[in-house]
Amino acid sequence: MTATAHATTTPVPRAARQRGLGALVRSEAVLFLRDPGSVFFALFFPLILAVGLGFAIPGMRDTIESPGTSYDGVTVIASFMPVILATAIAAPALTTLPSYIAGYRERGVLRRLAATPMRPSGILVAQVIVNVAAFLVAAVLALGVSALVHDLVVPTQPVLLVQAALLGLASTFGIGLLIAAFAAKASTANGLGMLVYFPMLFFAGLWTPGPIMPDIVESIARFTPLGAASQAMTEAWFGSGVPLLQLVVMIAYVAVLYPLAARLFRWS
């Protein structure tokens, strides 16, 4: 009895926790790469979308003539690049992350982890690391290949572009974590994620990009995390202003969703 009590109260050395987290991240990455659906949607769908739109749809490689706007002289497909980045954010945040965590809850993995030195929170950190890495790989692939095959322009405000992308990533991941907080099954989490995924892409401009987005849709979109991210990245890429409202909206989502997800989270 004494040995048991001592084992449960003795703190785990920091180095051991770091090694355990590293092993968990590697394990989660292997599981991710073995899942064809996750690999396709999280890593390759933004690339296929960027290249496919440019070559499959007539007029996508034409130059936009819109004097006095930030899109003047930009090809249509180049104007889609912020939307492509938003797509790269949405897939891991709204589909992969929630379904994996809910699947672990469904199978009792989180409950069993509670009895090990690696607390259940480690699985959350590992999942976030793997899915953020998936976004970075998807973004590099999509933008790198698009730069080779399409006539892209260099972002006018690269630092702001990175900031907007990171805030978009953080705010959209907040929705994924909120879904993962209470979904009892992987199928439930996946269904809820997909239910949010397509409206988010709509407000991000996948079907109605910036130059043709109706004013009412644009006004609503700026108050959604992915829409705000897409608009902020568009301004950073092609404009010269600071999209303060969109940045504040994304920060507000982070400030609200993460504490809410932590409060609602169930380990079993």
Mean pLDDT by 10 residues, the chain (268 residues): 41 56 87 90 92 86 78 84 94 92 90 70 85 94 92 92 96 95 93 94 87 87 96 93 96 96 87
Q: Are 146 and 54 in contact (CB under 8 A)?
A: yes
Round to whole Å and give the CA distance between 243 and 3: 58
Q: What is the pTM of this model?
A: 0.86
3-state secondary structure (DSSP) of residue 75: strand
Count the alpha carbons within 13 Å of 171 in the hemisphere toward its beta carbon: 26
Q: What is the pLDDT of residue 47?
A: 94
Q: What is the pLDDT of residue 268?
A: 81
Q: What is the pLDDT of residue 120?
A: 66
Nearest-CA neighbor of 51 among 166, 162, 172, 147? 147
